[in-house]
Amino acid sequence: MTLGARLDAATGHLPAPLAVVDLDALEANADDLVRRAGGMPIRVASKSVRVREVLTRVLARPGFAGVMGYSLREALWLVSQGVDDVLLGYPTVDTAALDDLARDPRAAAAVTLMVDDLAQVDLAAKAAAAHSVTLRVCLDIDASLQIGRGRFRAHLGVRRSPIHTAEQAGELAAAIVQRDGIDVRGVMFYEAQVAGLPDSSPAVRLVKKLSIADLATRRSAVVAAVAAAIGHPLELVNSGGSGSIQTSAQAASVTEVTAGSGLFVPTLFDSYRSFEPRPAAFFGLDVVRIPAPGYATAFGGGYIASGPATKSRQPRPVWPAGLTLTDREGAGEVQTPLLVPRGGDVRVGDRVWFRHAKSGEVMERFSTVHLVRGEAVEASVPTYRGEGGTFG
């Protein structure tokens, strides 16, 4: 049975728009991540999931341990639901949330803040002092590849932390040690130019190779500098993403890797050579009219992914086969016109299945996601949004 026919059989009684997760594909992807990690614990990136039930199921599988959150308020909510280890992937300046963190001993023990600037540390220290607790922090280290010198220096990667060298990391750690109520737990390296780029050209593959070689040396130097500054070995050295989990897991000094998008496998991951993509997350729209021969219009669908406004950020119709978005309208706010290939038979009431360009972002559009196994819905569960959680 084709993918579309199977999803139709499972969800034909449900109204669209609707989101589904194929559990067989999800579990196969989880197993593949564990295989590629080679025994290294995998922290699940919640921003790429945004469904608590899916997080719970994945964390219950061997090889997974802890969550990488994207918001402190999200982290506090996850802890209230039983998660006991949340590493924030990004800094926070939410002083009210920091106060809530410091006020709750269980949350303070479970959450690790991400910092790359003393201004962020001072906000956390103020909250810690107000409640006489110790808050844990992790240093976000810029993992980009920097080539050249001076005005001819190229920055290959995303713009994240200002901390790039071992000297800078050691200086920041030494300054943090002087703050009461703050404990440096470890460091994080997110090599976006390795983990977040498909293997689309020889140039990209060269950048990845150079980046991996650069980090092999620089990561160890950073870890040594921070450990010397705080006076003890680091508890946590986090690295990687779904696209680089194998090389990150093999790197010296790394204690854990992070993965998220590799569970759902959105369209932006289709060109990776490091793993076999098994799409696991879909959304369905119903055809509501046929405006002209060769066209079909579905209700909803304007679920554009973050990033540069290019075609790569648009959702992609995958069933019925051959459907494409129109250049003039693309994925629409309320309706999405589709081009039907010659010989295609699409009628009013038919369901069209799409994949999103990014992983967890599409779940922000739905309050419920249906977990499908085979030709049946195994469970219908709330997304973050469905539980009232909108964290940014």
Q: Which residue has the tokens 């959105």?
A: 266
Q: Are residues 120 and 167 in the same domain?
A: yes
Asked if residue 82 belongs to a domain, the reply is yes
pLDDT tens digits for 35-50? 999 999 999 999 999 9
DSSP letter assigned to residue 305: P
Q: Are residues 166 and 314 in the same domain?
A: no
* Cβ atoms of residues 256 and 206 within 8 Å: no
Q: Are residues 65 and 149 in the same domain?
A: yes
Q: Are residues 299 and 237 in the same domain?
A: no
13 phi/psi in degrees, rounded to 5? -85, -5
Give the mean pLDDT of the chain: 91
Is residue 197 pLDDT above 60, yes or no? no
Asked if residue 3 belongs to a domain, the reply is no
* pLDDT for res 193: 54
Asked if residue 273 belongs to a domain, the reply is no
Give the end of a domain, one of 211, 230, 264: 264
Q: Which long-range contacts (CB under 8 A, 24 or more apart) does 11-15 make?
A: 11/284, 11/351, 11/370, 11/372, 11/377, 12/351, 14/370, 14/377, 15/286
Selection from 178, 180, 184, 183 nearest residue 163 by Cα: 184
* pLDDT for res 338: 97
* pLDDT for res 200: 58
Asked if residue 245 belongs to a domain, the reply is yes
Asked if residue 186 belongs to a domain, the reply is yes
DSSP states along 147-181: ESSGGG-EEES----S--SHHHHHHHHHHHHTSTT
What is the spatial distance between Cα 237 and Cα 252, in angstroms, rounded to a whole number? Answer: 10
Asked if residue 15 belongs to a domain, the reply is no
Q: Which two tokens stand for residue 367?
A: 């309050």
* Cβ atoms of residues 70 and 392 within 8 Å: yes
Find the range with the poorest average confidence among 145-149, 184-188, 273-277. 145-149
Give the end of a domain, one of 229, 264, 299: 264
| Of residues 212 and 143, more confidently modeled | 143
Q: Are residues 190 and 233 in the same domain?
A: yes
Selection from 125, 107, 105 nearest residue 117 by Cα: 125
Helix (H) or strand (E) holding 36: helix 23-37
Q: Are residues 377 and 325 in the same domain?
A: yes
pLDDT tens digits for 368-384? 999 999 999 999 999 99
* pLDDT for res 150: 58
For residue 9, give the amino acid letter: A
Q: Are residues 37 and 130 in the same domain?
A: yes
What is the spatial distance between Cα 278 and Cα 263, in angstroms, rounded to a whole number? Answer: 9
| Of residues 35 and 252, more confidently modeled | 35
ω into residue 315 within 30 of 0, thus cis?
no
Q: Are residues 59 and 206 in the same domain?
A: yes
The neighbour count for residue 265, using CB atoms within 10 Å, is 24
* pLDDT for res 143: 79
* pLDDT for res 214: 72
pLDDT tens digits for 323-367? 999 999 999 999 999 999 998 999 999 999 999 999 999 999 999
CATH of the domain at 344: 2.40.37.20
Asked if residue 318 belongs to a domain, the reply is yes
* pLDDT for res 384: 98
* pLDDT for res 153: 59
Find the range with the poorest average confidence among 29-43, 83-97, 148-162. 148-162
Q: Which domain holds residue 164?
A: 23-264
C-alpha of 147 from chain center: 27
Count how many domains the chain has. Answer: 2
Helix (H) or strand (E) holding 131: helix 118-131
* pLDDT for res 209: 65
* Cβ atoms of residues 364 and 385 within 8 Å: yes
Q: Are residues 314 and 364 in the same domain?
A: yes
CATH of the domain at 170: 3.20.20.10
Can you give the pTM of this predicted structure? 0.91
ω into residue 320 within 30 of 0, thus cis?
yes
C-alpha of 152 from chain center: 32
pLDDT tens digits for 70-87? 999 999 999 999 999 999
Angle, helices 166-177 vs 202-230, to 10°: value is 40
